[in-house]
């Protein structure tokens, strides 16, 4: 049977596996196999909420094995480590539980391969970043930061020292901005549960950006609006500030100044996983992204496709498709059409990215962003309650793509019930 292997269960990969499972997997027309290094899926734009405790990942995560059983695809647990194009096979690294080998090195053959591995944070080789910073590339990293954050509040209370509540974040993109705002929501919640004697006026959050504005990918008026909101909360927004080194004490800037912080987060820049760089001769760029044609086929192998953050795809204006969840969603939908066309012996159409705009959630305080993007002559700026509704709807659209409308309505209802019966913050 024709076998399609999808590596990476993020926004794009999981949506594609689900759609292919319905189209061919359930009907026995093709074998659909999803590979991921984790047991569960969590929508990546929610990781900053997991990191601050605003979201309990145990409630919102999706199990690949169970989802695949229901939607017509199989799941293989493993981390891709190599590619053999000649034999049309991928290699999965061995899995260990401490010193015990749980699964050996394995090979999975494919007829068509889709690489949807997403991206990881790029520290640009900055000295000390890997040793002293927290990264938010996945659920486990976000939960580690959450535990450290709770411990830091406990330590600050025990020592009666608010200086322990100093947090610095490098990178003022969506993750850095949203995390900064969520930290103030966390502080208020902990105080309300008598877990902290310190309120938000004692919290010190520094947001560091090397460029001239925060949210550099968005229009300046949106960036300025977000900056005002953050500064009103108490965030120290530092633009035109390049970090050259990270130490235990804090971030060292190009000017030689030191921005002290007990907790340090690196959220500046993304790249595809390092092992993808020129893997088995495929064309990649400096960010390790796989170069793809308009059909989303890699430039040197028509049986291998790439979507999402790990794909380097150009728009008609020559600009690269941005590494956003909406791009991965659109590419997954388009790749389904491409695979159908190829199976029918037809020439596939080229992918066209349609910018629907961008929204930034500043926790419960505000939401700002723009709608429509390049679909109109200009973008429409929105903020406040309307923007929040649209922001939440983006996640609901992802859920609809995975579960269908009725199941998503039930999930939304459960979410509202949990807000009533559960604490507003994960306290453990």
The pLDDT value given to residue 379? 61
Name the strand (E) or helix (H) holding 154.
Answer: helix 139-159
Decide the pairing of beta strands 120-121 and 290-291: unpaired
Mean pLDDT of 399-405: 93
Q: Which domains does the chain have, with CATH numbers?
A: 3-119+272-343 (3.50.50.60), 129-270+357-421 (3.50.50.100)
Residue with tokens 């007990």: 262
Selection from 5, 6, 76 nearest residue 39 by Cα: 76
pLDDT tens digits for 244-269? Answer: 999 999 999 999 999 999 999 999 98
- Reply yes or no on whether the pLDDT at 236 is more than 90: yes
Of the ranges 216-230, 307-321, 374-388, which one carries the lowest mean pLDDT score? 374-388
The pLDDT value given to residue 372? 56
Within a 13 Å sphere around the CA of 36, how many CA atoms are in the beta-carbon half? 24
pLDDT tens digits for 292-311? Answer: 999 999 999 999 999 999 99
Mean pLDDT of 334-338: 98
- Reply yes or no on whether the pLDDT at 229 is more than 50: yes
DSSP, collapsed to helix, strand or coil, labels residue 103 as strand
* Predicted confidence band of residue 20 (pLDDT cuts 50, 70, 90): very high
The pLDDT value given to residue 424? 81
Decide the pairing of beta strands 166-170 and 204-208: parallel
- Reply yes or no on whether the pLDDT at 233 is more than 90: yes
pLDDT tens digits for 340-387? Answer: 999 999 999 999 998 887 888 888 888 887 765 444 445 666 777 777
Buried b (16+ CB within 10 A) or exposed e, 97-125: eeeeeeeeeeebebebbbbbbbbbbbbee
Decide the pairing of beta strands 166-170 and 263-266: parallel
Name the strand (E) or helix (H) holding 324.
Answer: none
CB 322 within 8 A of CB 316: no
- Reply yes or no on whether the pLDDT at 288 is more than 70: yes
pTM: 0.92
**How open is the CA angle 67-73-75, to the nearest 5 degrees?**
75
pLDDT tens digits for 162-209? Answer: 999 999 999 999 999 999 999 999 999 999 888 888 889 999 999 999
* CA torsion angle 9 11 14 18 (round to 10): 180
Residue 135 backbone phi and psi in degrees, to 5: -120, 150
* Predicted confidence band of residue 416 (pLDDT cuts 50, 70, 90): confident
266 contacts: CB under 8 Å, gap ≥ 6: 121, 123, 126, 129, 133, 134, 135, 170, 171, 246
Mean pLDDT of 41-67: 92
């Amino acid at each position: 049977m024709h076998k399609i292997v999808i590596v990476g269960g993020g926004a794009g990969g999981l949506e594609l596996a689900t759609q292919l499972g319905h189209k061919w997997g359930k009907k026995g027309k093709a074998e659909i196999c999803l590979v991921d290094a984790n047991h569960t899926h969590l929508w990546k734009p929610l990781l900053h909420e997991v990191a601050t405790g605003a979201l309990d990942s145990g409630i919102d995560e999706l199990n690949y094995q169970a989802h695949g059983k229901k939607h017509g695809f199989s799941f293989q647990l493993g981390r891709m480590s190599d590619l053999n194009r000649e034999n049309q096979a991928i290699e999965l690294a061995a899995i260990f539980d401490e010193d015990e080998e749980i699964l050996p090195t394995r090979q999975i053959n494919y007829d068509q391969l889709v690489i949807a591995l997403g991206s990881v944070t790029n520290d640009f080789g900055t000295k000390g970043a890997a040793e002293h910073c927290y990264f938010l590339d996945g659920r486990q990293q976000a939960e580690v930061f959450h535990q450290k954050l709770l411990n830091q509040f406990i330590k600050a209370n025990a020592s009666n020292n608010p200086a322990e509540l100093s947090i610095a974040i490098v990178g003022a993109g969506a993750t850095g901005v949203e995390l900064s705002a969520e930290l103030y929501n966390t502080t208020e919640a902990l105080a309300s549960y008598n877990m902290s004697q310190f309120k938000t006026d004692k919290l010190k959050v520094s947001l560091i950006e090397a460029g001239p504005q925060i949210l550099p990918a968005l229009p300046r008026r949106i960036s300025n609006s977000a900056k005002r909101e953050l500064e009103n909360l108490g965030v120290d927004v530092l633009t035109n500030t390049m970090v050259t080194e990270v130490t235990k004490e804090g971030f060292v800037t190009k000017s030689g100044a030191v921005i002290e912080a007990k907790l340090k987060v690196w959220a500046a820049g993304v790249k595809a996983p390092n092992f993808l760089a020129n893997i088995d001769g495929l064309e990649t760029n400096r960010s390790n992204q796989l170069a793809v044609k308009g059909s989303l086929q890699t430039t040197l192998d028509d049986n291998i496709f790439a979507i999402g953050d790990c794909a380097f795809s150009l728009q008609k204006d020559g600009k690269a498709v941005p590494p956003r969840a909406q791009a991965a969603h659109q590419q997954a939908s388009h790749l389904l059409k491409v695979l159908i066309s190829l199976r029918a012996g037809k020439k596939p159409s080229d992918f066209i990215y349609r910018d629907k705009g961008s929204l930034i959630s500043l926790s419960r305080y505000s939401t700002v962003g723009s709608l429509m993007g390049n679909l109109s002559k200009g973008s429409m700026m929105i903020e406040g309650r309307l923007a929040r509704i649209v922001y939440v709807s983006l996640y609901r659209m992802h859920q609809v793509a995975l579960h269908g409308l009725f199941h998503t309505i039930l999930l939304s209802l459960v979410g509202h019930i949990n807000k009533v019966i559960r604490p507003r913050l994960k306290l453990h």
